[in-house]
Amino acid sequence: MSETLPADGLLGWSWLLIALPLAGAAVLLLGGRRTDRWGHLLGTATVAASFVLAVLCTIQLAGQDGRPADVDLFTFISTGELDVRAGLLFDPLSAIFALLITGVGSLIHVYSIGYMAHDPARRRFFAYLNLFVAAMLLLVLGNSFVALYVGWEGVGLASYLLIAFWYTRPAAATAAKKAFIMNRVGDVGLALAIFVMFAQLGTTSYAGVFGAVGTLAGGTITALGLLLLLGACGKSGQFPLQAWLPDAMEGPTPVSALIHAATMVTAGVYLIARSAPIYDLTETARTVVLAIGALTLLIGAIAGCAYDDIKKVLAYSTVSQIGYMFLAVGLGPAGYVAGLAHLLAHGFFKAGLFLGAGSVMHAMNDQVDMRRFGALAKKLPVTFVTFGLGYLALIGFPFLSGYFTKDAIIEAALDRDDVWGWVLGGVAVLGAGLTAFYMTRLMLMTFFGRARWEEGVHPHESPSVMTAPMVVLAIGSVGAGALLVSVFPLSGWLEPVFGEPEEAAHVVAPAIIGLVVTAVMLVGVLAAWLFVGRREVPVTAPVRVSPVTRAARNALYADAVNESLFMRPGQWLTRALVWVDNRGVDGAVNGLAAGLGGSSSRLGRAQTGFVRSYALGILGGAVLVAGALLAVTAG
Amino acid sequence: MSVVDLSRKGHLVSDLPFLLLMIAVPAVGAAVVAALPKGRDELAKQVSLGVSLVVLLLAVLATIAFDTGGDRFQLTSSWTWIADFGVSFALGVDGIALVMLLLVGVLVPVVIGASWNDELPERRSMTAYFAWLLLLESMMVGVFAATDVFLFYVFFEAMLVPMYFIIGSFGGPRRQYAAVKFFLYSLVGGLIMLAAVIGLYVVSNSQLGEGTFAFDALRQLEIDPGVQKLLFLGFFIAFAIKAPLVPFHTWLPDSGSEAPIGGAVLLVGILDKVGTFGFLRYCLPLFPDASRFFAPFVLVLAVVGILYAALLAMGQSDMKRLVSYTSISHFGFIALGIFAFTTEAATGAVLYMVNHGIATGLLFLVVGMLIARGGSRQIRDYGGVAAKAPLLAGTFLVAGLASLALPGTNSFVSEFLVLIGSFPEEPVFTILATAGIILAALYILLMYQRTMHGPARGVLLQEDPAEPAPATGGGATATLAAPRRSLRVLDLSRRELAVVTPLVVLIIALGVYPQPLLELIEPAVSATMSDLGGTD
């Protein structure tokens, strides 16, 4: 990392980035019904203001050649050897995240004004959404692992509140709890990593840890890498902690777009990229990151092929795409920029796709079953076009966002020039084919074919307050990739963080990779058309299907495994322990009392007799003591 | 250090005998309230609230007068009491005792406010209840402010009496059983400690030529390691029952669930902390060798307690029992922090005592408010309350999040300090304890989901609340008849809001800016560690 500058100018005010949405949340939560009328506007305004500030800060950062600014705020926890200061680090890496969070966040706030217009609890929704933006900004702007952890659990809370937003629905309440618990499993890893840092290096700040990590033993560095990875897997829905993310779709769709697609779930990628100085020193941990990324990429893509719920397909797509990002950052220096570019592009097109899905649901009385859609292209023209552009960007249609960023990851994998490189590259290419399949299936089932609507549904295009953000995101989906890879290269912007990019010695020429990936993608599209597009889609899912389809519909049995490995044994253990504590431990003590002085039932009977008089005796003694004391003092 | 400057302002204020006043004012208040004629309930409440607010003011003034850079024990005063045995009525506070006094000062008025409209069992008078509460406050101040071991012992035992009557006379249906159990457990511990206190006197007599109970003299003693072990155990068992540590814990779920809510808050919030306070004040400095010898054993109990009690909490159907078990789990963290023998962990443990009192106090209060509305302690009798009572649900959530130590709440800071401070010395125990944060999320969110989320159902939300709900489970409804009419308005009343607001504010404020408390606590913890011959 390059030398840090004390923050001056606007950067000294960068804490306002967090404070503004936080203040918005506080006003909306404490203000009560009085703020119902304008609460959503305040919520949107504070995030938009943060976005403007983030842009200005980034401009200033660019003016000082990307040298990071450190904003020291106050002493958070200082005792003994531990000294945790609350402070922010505004560097090129946190800047791109701040822009993504506030930019996409603003658009989704605007969209929500329309989407939640008829919800009686709209004010509460905006309060939670503001809370999320504040926590997420703290996560990426904090200058220490403790600050990151505070934001990390803060976004977990916001996610919990928003998944459970319609909490009267048991499914929503359960999904929220599941998300929080599985995230906490990951948080344990992150917490332990912080403990190791303090134990070994005596500090938790980025500057302190990254400056000294090279002095640690190799095993310790690997342990750090793996513990951080556990945290990253929880937050980003990566194997083996992926099962919560699809359930999180119980939340309102703008939440799925912002939190469970564009920003929060990519925090794991941020964590690994931020911790690059640690991962650069541990090949082992990097290999595990790669393996998890590749595995999750496939799990998500396979499950995505089988679901009929439009939001769940998109959710598994997110799981899969974040797998790509993990794969990229797991490659080390060659992959950080590629992974982050894909993260940003994904932020645009996946948020756009979710907003489009929300628009479809809005038109279809909150239906999510794609078997009940069909023929919506003409009814929802704006949604169709914007969604379609996001779709093309995601499957990697030539010269749209995904084409550039996904190919960059595949190139970086192949550039390893070893067996692993070919395996990973192969998995990534295969994933591209699957992505094309499930997304084309989704497009065909939703927008084409025969209308399979339920009775009484009259689809209508969404109001412009909703379509405008979709249009902006669609433009981003089209252009972001080219912009980040060639016009305004992300690798140059991030140079102060990750160092000068090495001139890659390409094993396979990029042009050839592009052709191969495009060909595989077209095969996926064609397959989807063969299986879905040219046949009639039945309104109920066929029951007699191959074991492969059944496994995919069950997301490769992740929930079943979790239930039989953890949930049921846990419940069983809890019941057994309750029994033991009531009969065993308590009984033993009562029994001991019985052995010493009579039957244990006498314990109950003693109430009237001697205990009470004993208690009064003690009280009498205490009064005497007090009296004696007074006498002494007076005398 | 900011505290220092203020203390220089007025000598008049700083010369007040704060500690004596904090013991005497509530004791006198208790006598006054008890002497009020029956039927003057309103007056009794007002007097009690006023008295407890005076104590809070005294605690705040004492904190202002306290110099964090000064002597270990400040605001000291001492009167000879039993000259023949070297017993003095000696008072004084270090930073640890001071923050506990602040906690007492905050929680008692809150509890009095929360008990304002309590439905007491038949033939029990409100005046008596408030008199006992004030007497308890006096004893609690004494136990933290005593710097003479014998005086500490007297307060330690005397404290039982008001609590015994609070549980036994004003509690739930099985209050008699719970009160007797509480009393016997505590009594056994107390007697064992008495033996150790006397033993300590004997040792001081032989080493110093004249016996003493003064803490500052006793910690200079060089006690034979074998004797240390015995004396350590005497104190330790009493404190472990009080804290309580597994396997000495089974009295707490009974007491916590049968005590009236105000009593439960003070029991779990403060009384139990006397145990962990005792570990730090007496076990570690007086018996350093024995503390080191027994530390692995205590750490095992602490970590087993964290996980075991958390699992038990998940299995409870009674909300008050559930909260009691969560407390046992939290006390495991405090014990871990104390017996890891590092400044960071022990400072965290002291902060944990304060934060737990605030967070679990609030959780108990909210649960109590819910029970007062529904007449049942069973989780299954509630559902979907959030839709009808958003303020109650929000407060419940804040208390729950503090209990699971979410960053931004006070408990995060203390739990984080305990764990990060313990890790360098005791990595294995710390890793196991850290896994406990998953269980904490489970027991809190399970309870929250079952009572607050889902479709509206249960005793609270039937069409006509005038119809008493059928009694369900545990006989908990026996003494609480139909929900009172005033509570038909489901959400928090203004009085209830006034009660919970200070705690919510403290949870957030101490979660964001804990440093002032840490600066109070750390010097005393460092002194304790050096008594221990700290290797830090």
Q: Token digits for A94?
A: 């946190």
Q: How many residues does chain B have?
A: 536
Chain B within 8 Å of A567 (Cβ-Cβ)?
Answer: no
- Bond preceding residue B390 cis, omega within 30 of 0: no
Q: Which residue has the higher pLDDT, B355 or B125?
A: B355
* Chain B nearest C-alpha distance from A131 (Å): 12
Convert the pLDDT of each residue in B161-193 to its tens digit: 999 999 988 988 888 888 888 888 888 889 899
Distances B185 to B140, B164, B189, B210, B244 between C-alpha atoms, Å: 18, 12, 6, 33, 10
Nearest in space to B182 (alpha carbons), one of B242, B132, B136, B270 = B242
Residue A510 has pLDDT above 50, yes or no: yes
How far, in Å, CA of B361 to CA of B338, rounded? Answer: 22
Which of A613-616's residues contact partners 24+ apart within 8 Å by CB, and which partners? A614/B183, A614/B187, A615/B160, A615/B161, A615/B164, A615/B165, A615/B183, A616/B161
Q: Are the CB atoms for A279 and A225 separated by under 8 Å?
A: yes
Quote the pLDDT of residue B266.
96
Of B344, B442, B454, the CB nearest to A173: B454
Q: Higher pLDDT residue, A608 or A46? A: A46
pLDDT digits (tens, 9 = 90+) for A151-185: 999 999 999 999 999 999 999 999 999 999 999 99
- Return the percent helix, strand and coil in chain B, to nearest 5: 75, 5, 25
Q: Which two tokens stand for residue B329?
A: 């789990």
Q: How far apart are CA A494 and CA A508, in angstroms?
A: 25
Tell me which residue has tokens 């511990």.
B189
A320-343 pLDDT tens trace: 999 999 999 999 888 999 999 999
Could you tell me the pLDDT band of residue B113, with boundaries at 50, 70 and 90? very high
B431 at interface of A, judged by CB pairs closer than 8 A: yes
Joined together, the tokens standing for residue A70 give: 């450190």
DSSP state of B378: B
Mutate to test the interface with A, among B161, B165, B382 (most CBs of A within 10 A): B161
CA A146/CA A165 separation, integer angstroms: 28
Residue B536: pLDDT over 50: no
Structure tokens, B446: 């399970």
Chain A residue at shortest CA distance from B454 = A168
Q: In sequence order, what DSSP letters do the residues of B246-298 get, joined into one string?
A: TTS-THHHHHHHHS-HHHHHHIIIIITHHHHHHIIIIIHHH-HHHHHHHHHHH
Smallest CA-to-CA distance from B177 within A206, A545, A94, A605 is with: A605
Distances (CA, A) of A613 to A556, A569, B164: 67, 48, 12
pLDDT value of position B489: 54
Selected residues 83-112 of chain B with any CB under 8 Å from a CB in chain A:
89
pLDDT of residue B461: 63
State pLDDT tens for residues A281-318.
999 999 999 999 999 999 999 999 999 999 999 999 99
- The pTM of this model reads 0.91
CB contact under 8 A, B427 and A168: no
Distance CA B412, CA A553 (A): 40
Q: How far apart are CA B8 and CA B22, in angstroms?
A: 22
Which among A81, A150, A180 has CB closest to B445? A180
Distance CA A580, CA B311 (A): 12
Range in A110-114, A237-241, B463-467 the model is least confident about? B463-467
Residue in A with minimal Cα distance to B412? A150
Q: Letter for the amino acid at A176?
A: A
More confident residue, A227 or B117: A227
**Amino acid occupying residue B24:** A
Q: A184: which residues sit within 8 A by CB, 6+ positions away?
A: A156, A234, B437, B438, B441
The predicted structure's pLDDT at residue A426: 93
Q: Which residues on adjacent β-strands are paired with residue B534? A: none
pLDDT grade, residue A627 (50/70/90)?
A: low
Please name the amino acid found at residue A439. Answer: M
Summarised one tens digit per residue, pLDDT across range A471-505 is 999 999 998 888 888 778 888 888 888 888 777 67
Cα–Cα dist A491/B410, whole Å: 41
Question: Which residue, B188, B307, B310, B177, is CA-closest to B255?
Answer: B177
Predicted local confidence at residue A107, as pLDDT? 96
Q: Is B177 helix (H, G, I), strand (E, B) or coil?
A: helix
Per DSSP, helices labelled H in A237-366 are 244-247, 253-257, 267-274, 276-279, 283-306, 310-330, 336-363
Specify which of A26-35, A499-508, B416-425, B473-482 reaches the highest per-range mean pLDDT: B416-425
Q: Say if residue A603's pLDDT is above 70.
A: no
Token pair listed for A394: 């995601």
Kindly calculate the radius of gyration of chain B based on its CA atoms and give it in whole angstroms. Answer: 22
Are B424 and A578 in contact (CB < 8 Å)?
no
- How many residues in chain A? 635
Q: Which residue of A has its CA nearest to B393?
A: A167
Q: Inspect the interface and report whether the beta carbons of B408 and A154 lie closer than 8 Å.
A: yes
d(CA B89, CA A632): 10
- Of chain A residues 94-153, which have a CB less than 8 A from chain B? 146, 149-150, 152-153
Q: Is B341 on the interface with A (CB under 8 A)?
A: no
d(CA A128, CA A165): 9
pLDDT at A481: 85
A631 touches B: beta carbon within 8 Å: no
Distance in angstroms (rounded) separating the CA atoms of residues A410 and A293? 13
Render pLDDT for B134-164 as a digit per residue (tens, 0 to 9): 999 999 999 999 999 999 999 999 999 999 9
- Give, for B496, the enclosing helix (H) or strand (E): helix B494-512
- Please enumerate in sequence order all residues whose Cβ is within 8 A of that of B28, keeping only pairs 6 or more positions apart, or say none: none
Q: Which helix (H) or strand (E) holds A69?
A: strand A69-79
Give A378-392 pLDDT, tens digit per residue.
Answer: 999 999 999 999 999
User: Do residues B492 and B369 make contact, with C-beta atoms less than 8 angstroms apart?
Assistant: yes
Q: Which residues of chain B make contact with A177, given a CB cutoff of 8 A? A: 445-446, 449
Q: Residue B477: which of B173, B212, B234, B214 has the closest Cα? A: B173
The pLDDT assigned to B474 comes to 39
pLDDT for res B117: 83
Q: In the predicted model, is pLDDT for residue B7 greater than 50?
A: no
Q: Are B352 and B243 in contact (CB under 8 A)?
A: no
**What H or E segment, with its residue span, contains residue A82?**
strand A82-90
Shortest distance between the Cα of A609 and any Cα of chain B, in A, equals 11
Would you call A170 and B455 a contact, using CB atoms and an 8 Å cutoff? yes
d(CA A67, CA B145): 54
Quote the mean pLDDT of chain A. 88
Q: Which residues of B touch A29 (CB under 8 A)?
A: 394
Per CB-CB distance under 8 Å, the chain B contacts of A604 are 176-177, 180
CB B256 within 8 A of CB B320: yes
SS3 of A369, please? strand
Question: Which residues of chain B does A198 touch, with a Cβ-Cβ cutoff of 8 Å?
Answer: 420, 423-424
Task: List the single residue in B161, B316, B394 with the smallest CB-CB distance to A622.
Answer: B161
Is the Cβ of A613 closer than 8 Å to some Cβ of chain B? no
Q: Is the pLDDT of residue A319 over 70?
A: yes
Range B313-338 average pLDDT: 95
Using an 8 Å CB-CB cutoff, list chain B residues near A621.
Answer: 158
Q: How far is CA B274 from CA A606, B77, B196, in A?
A: 27, 21, 17
Q: Which of A168, A611, A625 sits opposite B455 (nearest CB)?
A: A168
| Interface list for A 18-37 with B (CB within 8 A) | 29
Q: What chain B residue is nearest to A197 in terms of C-alpha separation? A: B420
Question: Is residue A554 very low, low, confident or very high in pLDDT (cuts 50, 70, 90)?
Answer: confident
With an 8 Å Cβ cutoff, is A594 touching chain B? no
pLDDT over 50 (residue A633): no
pLDDT band at A620 (very low <50, low <70, confident <90, very high): low
Higher pLDDT, B422 or A610: B422
**pLDDT tier at A549 (50, 70, 90 boundaries)?**
confident
pLDDT, mean of residues A542-557? 84
Q: Are A521 and A396 in contact (CB under 8 A)?
A: yes
A113-158 pLDDT tens trace? 999 999 999 999 999 999 999 999 999 999 999 999 999 999 999 9
d(CA B258, CA B474): 12
Q: Chains A and B: how many Cβ contacts under 8 Å?
A: 191
Cβ within 8 Å, pair B316-A184: no
User: Which candidate, A518, A512, A510, places its Cα nearest to that of A396?
Assistant: A518
- At B512, list the tokens: 């964001």
Average pLDDT, chain B: 89
Distance, CA of B77 to CA of B369 (rounded, Å) = 41
Instruction: Work out the angle between the directed axes of helices B390-403 and B427-452 (0-180°, nearest 10).
Output: 170
Please tell me if residue A602 touches chain B, with a CB cutoff of 8 Å. Answer: no
What is residue A2's predicted lDDT score, i.e. its pLDDT? 52
Count of alpha carbons within 13 angstroms of residue B479, beta-carbon side = 16
How many CA within 13 A on the CB side of residue A612? 14
Most confident range (mean pLDDT) of A600-614, B238-252, B415-429 is B415-429
Q: How far is B301 from chain A (nearest CA, A)?
A: 14
Compare B152 and A66 and report the one with higher pLDDT. B152
- Using the Cβ of A73 and the Cβ atoms of chain B, whether some distance falls under 8 Å is answered with no
Q: What pLDDT sits at residue A568?
A: 86
From residue A391, how far is each of A105, A435, A444, A473 by CA, in Å?
A: 21, 10, 11, 12
Give the pLDDT mean for B9-20.
69
Quick: pLDDT tens for B490-512: 889 899 999 999 999 999 999 99
What gap in Å lies between CA A607 and CA B177, rounded to an integer?
Answer: 7
B120 near B129, Cβ under 8 Å?
yes
pLDDT of A108 higher than 70:
yes
Q: Which pLDDT band, with edges at 50, 70 and 90, does A565 fall under? A: confident
pLDDT of residue B374 exceeding 90, the answer is no
- What does DSSP say about strands A5-6 and A69-79: parallel, antiparallel, or unpaired? parallel
| In the predicted structure, residue A606 carries a pLDDT above the cut 80 | no
Picking from A122, A166, A140, A146, the residue whose alpha carbon sits closest to that of residue A17 is A140
Q: Would you call B176 and A607 a contact, using CB atoms and an 8 Å cutoff?
A: yes
Considering CB atoms only, which of A77, A176, A575 is closest to B514? A77
| Paired tokens of A599 | 């039957």
Q: Is B188 within 8 Å of B254 (Cβ atoms)?
A: no
CB contact, 8 Å: B170 with chain A? no
The span from the CA of B515 to the CA of B237, in Å, is 33
Q: How far is B496 from chain A (nearest CA, A)?
A: 16
State pLDDT tens for residues B397-442: 999 999 999 999 999 999 999 999 999 999 999 999 999 999 999 9
Distance (Å, rounded) from C-alpha B295 to C-alpha B335?
Answer: 10
B369's tokens: 């408010």
State which residue of chain B sits closest to A152, comparing Cα positions. Answer: B407
